[in-house]
Chains A and B, each alone.
Chain A
Amino acid sequence: MLIRPKAGILDPQGQAVERALPALGFEGVRNVHVGRLIELDVEDAGSLPEMCERLLANPLIEDYEIVEEAAA
Chain B
Amino acid sequence: MRFGVVRFPGSCDEVDALHACRRFAEAELLWHGDRDLTGIDAVVVPGGFSYGDYLRVGAIARFSPMMEAVIDFAESGGPVFGICNGFQVLCEAGLLPGALLPNDSLRFVCRQVEVIVEATDTPFTRTCQPGERLSIPVKHTTGRYFAPAGTLPEDQIVLRYAPGQNPNGAMDDIAGVCNAGRNVMGLMPHPEHAVDPLTGSADGGRLFESLAMVPA
Listed in ascending order, the chain A residues whose CB lies under 8 Å from chain B are 9-10, 12-13, 16, 55-56, 58, 60-61
Q: How far is the CA of A36 from the CA of B98 in the complex (A)?
A: 20
Q: Do A61 and B55 form a contact, CB below 8 Å, given A9-B146, A13-B106, A16-B106?
A: no
Q: List 30 A-B contacts (CB under 8 A).
A: A9-B101, A9-B146, A10-B101, A10-B104, A10-B144, A10-B169, A12-B102, A12-B104, A12-B105, A12-B106, A12-B169, A13-B102, A13-B106, A16-B106, A55-B55, A55-B59, A56-B55, A58-B56, A58-B59, A58-B92, A58-B99, A60-B98, A60-B99, A60-B146, A60-B147, A60-B148, A60-B151, A61-B99, A61-B101, A61-B146
Listed in ascending order, the chain B residues whose CB lies under 8 Å from chain A are 55-56, 59, 63, 92, 98-99, 101-106, 144, 146-148, 151, 169
Q: How far is the CA of A12 from the CA of B102 in the complex (A)?
A: 8
Give, as a whole number of angstroms, the nearest-CB distance from A64 to chain B: 12
- Identify the 3 closest CB pairs spanning chains A and B, nearest first: A61-B99, A60-B99, A12-B106
**Which residues of B are found within 8 Å of A56, using beta-carbon distances?**
55
Q: Smallest CB-CB separation from B151: which chain A residue?
A: A60
Give, as a whole number of angstroms, the nearest-CB distance from A36 to chain B: 8
A12-B106, A60-B98, A61-B146 given. 20 additional CB < 8 A pairs?
A9-B101, A9-B146, A10-B101, A10-B104, A10-B144, A10-B169, A12-B104, A12-B169, A16-B106, A55-B55, A55-B63, A58-B56, A58-B59, A58-B92, A60-B99, A60-B147, A60-B148, A60-B151, A61-B99, A61-B101
